[in-house]
Chains A and B, each alone.
Chain A
Amino acid sequence: MEHLIIGNGIAGVCAAEAIRRLDPSAGITMIGDEDTLPYSRPMISMVLEGVLGEERLPVRSAGFYQQMGIKPVLGKRAVAVDIEGRRVEVEGCPPIAFDRLLIASGADPRRLEVEGSGLENIFYMRTKKDVRRMLAALPRARKALVLGGGLVGFKAAYGLLRRGLQVSMLITSDYPLAMQVDREAGGMILEKLVSRGLDVRTAISVEAFNGRGTVSGARLSDGSRLECDLVVVGKGVRPALSFLPAGVEKDLGVMVDQHLETSIKGIFAAGDAAECVDLARQKRWVNAIWPEAAAQGRIAGMNMAGRKVTYPGSLSRNVMRIFDLDVMTIGMVNPDPEDRNVQVLRHHDPVRGTYRKFVLRDDVLSGAMLINNIQQGGLFLSLIQNRTRLPLDPQKLLEPGFNPGRLRP
C-alpha cells in the first residue's frame, strides 16, 4: 500500500506515524514545500522575540524520515491531484502515485488587499522563513504596526515589543481577541496590553500603505496617518488548496466525514486544510489549531492504514499567556444572545484576578473561558468534547477549588 501525504506539518507527521505503527511495510511519501524537518509553527513567535533559537523549533529528530521509513519530497509544492489516475503532480519532479492520499497541506495567511500591500517590510508571520525575514529587517526598524487582534497579531506585537520597538496594534473589532473571548475579558486583556506600553487602537483598519519600496507609513480608516517601518499582518488563515481537483467536495476547507475521508474514497484530509463538524457549534467549521491538527492527523493515518476509527469533531480552543494574564478559551464562548437554549454562567473575582465563564446548551457544556487559574482547563475541554451531561449543579464549576473529584458519581 502506497501512502502519500501532502504536507509536512504536525497533521502529516502524526498521520505518517500512525500509518507506520499499524503497517510496518507500507510505503509512505511526504511532500512539503518547506525544505526542513517538521517544526513547531506556534513557536516561531518566540524566535522573533529572541528567547529561542531556530534550532529549537523542530518537533522530530534529524533521523525522523529515515527511522520511520518515510520518503521525504521537500521544498516542493503539490500542483495537481489526478483522482482517476491516483497520482499527484509535484513541481520539479515526476508525478507520485498513491493508493491512499492525505491532504494535510495546512493553510496560508489571508492576504491583505489594500494599496501598497506589496511594499517591503510588510510581513505575514506564518513560517520560519517569514520570521527570518522579519529578524533581518529588525535592526533598521523603530515603529511597528501590527494588524489584527487575533493570536498571530498578539504574538507578533509581544515579540516586537520585547525587541524594543514601538508597537501599534490595529484591531477591526472593538476589543482584542474578539474571536476567542468576550467583551469583559477583552477589556481585561486590553488594559494589560496598554499598561505594558502597547498602543492599541480598536474599531479601525488600514486603507493604504505608502513608502518608496519599503513601507514608511499607513493611512487608516479614520483618515489619520501613522508612521511605521515594519508591518505584521495577522488577519487569519485560509486552507491551502490550490492543487485540489474539482471532484473533491470543499467548502472553506476540504469536507471530511467522521473518518476524515473526503468525498473521494481513499483521499483523506486533516489539519488546517480540513473542515469537519465543530462540537460546540454543532455545524461545519475549520478549526485551524495545532492540537486538532495533531489529533486529526493521527486518526486519518489510522483510517488510511485500514483501522476504521472515528473522529467526533473538532473544537476551537486557545491558551495564551499575555504578560501575567493567563487566558484559556475552549469552544463557543460568545453564544448567540437570542438562543434560548443557552445558559451562561460567569464569575469575576477581582481579588484573585480570575474570570470564569461557562456556556451550556441543553445542560451540556459547550464553551469555557478562564482567565488565570487555568491549570485544570483540560477538564472542561474533555467535558465539552465528550458532551457529558453534568452530574452536578453547573454553578459549582465556577468555584476556584473545583477539581475532578467533584465529578465523581
Chain B
Amino acid sequence: MKQVVVHPERCLGCMQCMAACAVAHSRSGQLYTALAERPLPRPRIHVGAGLYQEGFPNRCRHCDPAPCMLACLAGAIWREQETSTVFIDPDKCINCASCAMACPYGVIRFHQDPMAPPGKTVAVKCDNCDQRRARGLVPACVEVCKSGALTYEEMDEAMRRKTAAVARSVSAGAETSGIPAAIDLLMTVKKARLSL
C-alpha cells in the first residue's frame, strides 16, 4: 500500500502543499472559490522553519499505535485498517485538545471545517486524502510538490531507494548526495547565512 513519504532535506519551504491541502479539503475543490468559502478551508500539512530557515513539512504520521487515539476522551479517533489511516470523527470530537497534548509531532489543529457540523470547532488533521484517493488521485500535497520533498510510494520501495542512496554516498569517489544541485545550493546558502 502506498503512503506519503516526507523527505525534509528536499523541502524548499514554498508552502504549496499547504495551499493544495486546504483546497483539497474545501467544499468546492477549486482554489479561487475556496478562498470565498466559510469556514475558510485550512491546510492539514504544516510547513515550519527549521534551525537555519529550511522548510520542514510536518504532517500526521498515522502512528501505530497512535498516541492521539489512546488519549482521545470521546473515542472520536479511529484507524481504517485497510489504509492504516487515522481519522478523527468530527461528530464525536469534543474539542478538548487531549489529542494535541498527545501528538508528538504537533500536527493537530482546532477549527471549524467544511466536513464538520456547521459552527463546531473540532480537531482536524491529515486524512491521507481519502476522498481524492477514492477518485484515483494521489494526495494533494504530493501532487503539488515540485522538489520531491513529498512522494507517494510503497514504503518498502522508498526504504530501498534510501538505503541505496546511503550506500552510494559512502563508496569511494562518491560525490552526489542524491539531492538536485539547485536544492543543495539553496540549503548551503541558508546554512551559510546562519553562520554569518
Contact = CB atoms under 8 A, between A and B. Distances in A.
Nearest to A40: B73
A282 B80 CA distance: 38
Given A405-B48, A408-B51, A291 B106 contact: no
Interface residues on A, range: 35 or more
A321 B104 contact: no
A290 B69 CA distance: 12
Contacts of B55: 405
B180 to A, nearest CB: 20
A34 interface: no
Given A377-B100, A378-B104, A408 B56 contact: yes
Given A319-B100, A321-B95, A375 B109 contact: yes
Given A404-B48, A404-B56, A408-B51, A40 B97 contact: no
Interface in B15-63: 46, 48-51, 54-56, 58
Nearest to B76: A59
Contacts of B74: 40, 43, 56, 59
Interface string A379-407: 10110000000001000000001011110
Contacts of A230: none
B95 A330 contact: no
B102 A291 contact: yes
Contact of A403 (B58, B65, B97, B100): B58
Contact of A60 (B75, B105, B108): B75
B49 A378 contact: no
A376 B71 contact: no
B98 interface: yes
A294 interface: yes
30 contacts: A14-B70, A42-B96, A52-B94, A58-B75, A291-B70, A294-B70, A294-B71, A298-B65, A319-B98, A319-B100, A319-B101, A321-B96, A326-B97, A375-B106, A375-B108, A375-B110, A377-B97, A378-B100, A378-B104, A378-B105, A378-B106, A378-B108, A379-B103, A392-B51, A403-B48, A403-B106, A404-B105, A404-B106, A406-B50, A408-B51
Q: What are the 3 closest A-B residue pairs judged by CB atoms, nearest first?
A: A405-B56, A376-B106, A403-B48
Interface of A: 14, 40, 42-43, 46, 52, 56, 58-60, 290-291, 294-295, 298, 317, 319, 321, 326, 328, 330, 374-379, 381-382, 392, 401, 403-406, 408
